[in-house]
Amino acid sequence: MRPFFLTLISALVLFAQKPEPAAVLKMAAKPASPEFQKNLEASFTPQQLEKGEASLAVGPDSLYAIKAAKPPQLFVDDQPAGAMKKAGAYYIGTAKIAPYTSHTYHYMIDGKRFGGRFDVIAFGPEAYEQAGVPQGKLSEKFTSNSKIYEGMASEYWVYVPAQYNAATPAPVMIWQDGQNYANRAANNRVLIQIDNLVHQKRIPAAIHIFIAPGKVGAKAMRSILYDTYTDKYSHYLLEEILAEVSSKWNLRKDGYSRAIAGESSGAICAFNAAWWRPEEFTRVYSRIGSYTSIQWKPGELDGGNIYPFAIRKMPKRNIRAFLSDGSEDIENNHGSWPLQNIQMANSLKLREYDFRFVFGTGAHSTAQGHAEIPIALPWIWRGYDPAKTSEEFVMDPAEKEKPYFRVKALNRN
């Protein structure tokens, strides 16, 4: 019996180390209580509490904690968030934050800015399990051995909605960096959100393919696959991945019924597939896209940095695209992620593409993208009609009336 009790005790200790965020938020109503302080310390590392980087959120309810000798001033999205309360050696603050996006916070101590983060996620209700919603099924892990990328092995998973009927071909959505989503318990809550959106009939019951970037031996191929301005990856998807998946599930073969998504380099990869093969991929979801010069080799190979100009100068493609980024995204020798995403949006607008651009305050983080799924997926799938195999995407008339995106020097004199 001893091993059983040891296992039980270990499980209880593990549970005590990571209390449910909702429970911690509820206990925050009594910050002086020893129970709350114990759970606060179990929720964060000492370093997070000391550096002012301890926060959590459940839907629109958020909590911030810091170990400080005197009361700090909390700012959420650069706005004062009210007085903080004493909780033993800590100060805590709470705030209501808008759902479907990410938020920033920081503290002011002795007139100086301190701590904070750019990636507090405010999920909408679609990100939480709901009664009566059937769950899709995640497949086993498959391995694809490529001939197009000679010697490359890639892992992928297939998520099949509960509403899938093998007698009827299903639409398809492909996600790059798919290893991050093939886990229902992951904090991105992608699978939960897909189930809820399908159940609410806000998106079609598509089969989702989550592909991890491949390797040739020990060589990681991610940037070569994702950041290169060629049509090679689209051939890989069509001739290898989709061919394999369609041998097991009944898939639609029209580009009207295919969407493709990714973040960072995976986002430019998604746009790449639609750009080169718009008859095969028409719906794009791009998050913190790396439309920069990562794979640019001057005089030899174009990189994703040319996209804003290619869109303006080359023939218009039949693509619908949802793009999102944040003002604190990367700035390095490859380029400026925020400025390139703004350039992408303005180029798409200039050529009257059917696009939407959401620009938040986040860094190079997945937070905003995870939160906005209930906005982005219904937008790219809007109007989907299974009786159709094509549609000419046109710019929303409301977008035509809006100005171009402009940049102001907000953090400099």
Domain CATH number, residue 90:
2.60.40.2450
Q: Are residues 157 and 36 in the same domain?
A: no
- State the pLDDT at residue 408: 86
Question: Do 264 and 155 have their domain in common?
Answer: yes
Residue 97 has pLDDT above 60, yes or no: yes
For 108-142, the pLDDT digits (tens) are 999 999 999 999 999 999 999 999 999 999 999 99
| Parent domain of 336 | 126-400
Cα–Cα distance list, 131 to 78, 124, 128, 188, 195 (Å): 37, 16, 10, 20, 12
Helix (H) or strand (E) holding 285: strand 283-287
On whether residue 357 sits in a domain, the answer given is: yes
Q: Answer yes or no: is pLDDT of 3 > 60.
A: no
Residue 2 maps to a domain: no
Asked whether residue 331 is assigned to any structural domain, the reply reads yes
Helix (H, G, I), strand (E, B) or coil at 126: helix
> CATH number for the domain including 203?
3.40.50.1820
C-alpha span between 341 and 308 (Å, rounded): 8
Are residues 389 and 256 in contact, defined by beta-carbon separation less than 8 angstroms? yes
pLDDT score recorded for residue 409: 82
Over 80: is that where the pLDDT of 345 sits? yes
Q: Are residues 108 and 184 in the same domain?
A: no
- 7 in any annotated domain: no
> What percent of the chain shows pLDDT beyond 70?
96
In this structure, the answer to whether residues 329 and 369 fall within a common structural domain is yes
Residue 10: what pLDDT? Answer: 43
Q: Identify whether residues 343 and 316 lie together within a single domain.
A: yes
Q: Quick one: 70 and 209 in the same domain? A: no
Percent of residues, the chain, with pLDDT higher than 90: 93
* Mean pLDDT on 378-398: 97
Q: How confident is the model at residue 9 (pLDDT cuts 50, 70, 90)?
A: very low
How does pLDDT run across 17-64, given as a tens digit for each residue?
Answer: 689 999 999 999 999 999 999 999 999 999 999 999 999 999 999 999
Q: Tell whether 14 is covered by a domain.
A: no
Task: Answer yes or no: is pLDDT of 208 > 50.
Answer: yes
Beta strand residue intervals within 31-177, DSSP E: 54-58, 61-67, 73-76, 79-80, 85-87, 90-96, 101-109, 112-122, 137-138, 142-145, 152-160, 172-176
Amino acid at 95: A
Tell me the pLDDT of the chain averaged across its residues.
94
Helix (H) or strand (E) holding 362: strand 354-363
pLDDT of residue 18: 82
Domain-terminating residue out of 57, 87, 122: 122
Rounded to whole angstroms, the Cα distance separating 289 from 307 reads: 11
* 236 is a domain residue: yes
Same domain flag for 269 and 373: yes
Q: How many domains, in total, are found in the chain?
A: 2
What is the pLDDT, as a whole number, of residue 8? 45
pLDDT of 189 higher than 50 = yes
Do residues 51 and 137 share a domain? Answer: no
Q: Is residue 1 part of a domain?
A: no
Verify that 88 and 133 share a domain, yes or no.
no
> Taking the complete model, does pTM exceed 0.75, yes or no?
yes
Q: Indicate whether 275 and 203 sit together in one domain.
A: yes
Q: What is the pLDDT of residue 410?
A: 77
Task: Based on the fold, state whether residues 55 and 97 are members of the same structural domain.
Answer: yes
Considering 122, 157, 183, which residue would you say is the last residue of a domain? Answer: 122
Does residue 273 lie in a domain region? yes
Number of Cβ atoms within 10 Å of the Cβ of 116? 19
Is residue 186 located within the same domain as residue 59?
no
pLDDT in tens, 299-339: 999 999 999 999 999 999 999 999 999 999 999 999 999 99
Is the pLDDT confidence value at 12 over 50?
no
Based on its alpha-carbon atoms, the radius of gyration of the chain, rounded to whole angstroms, reads 23
Per-residue confidence (pLDDT) for residue 17, from 0 to 100: 64
pLDDT above 50: residue 11: no
Q: What band does 412 get if pLDDT is binned at 50, 70 and 90?
A: confident
pLDDT at 413: 74
Q: Which of 97, 122, 147 is the last residue of a domain?
A: 122
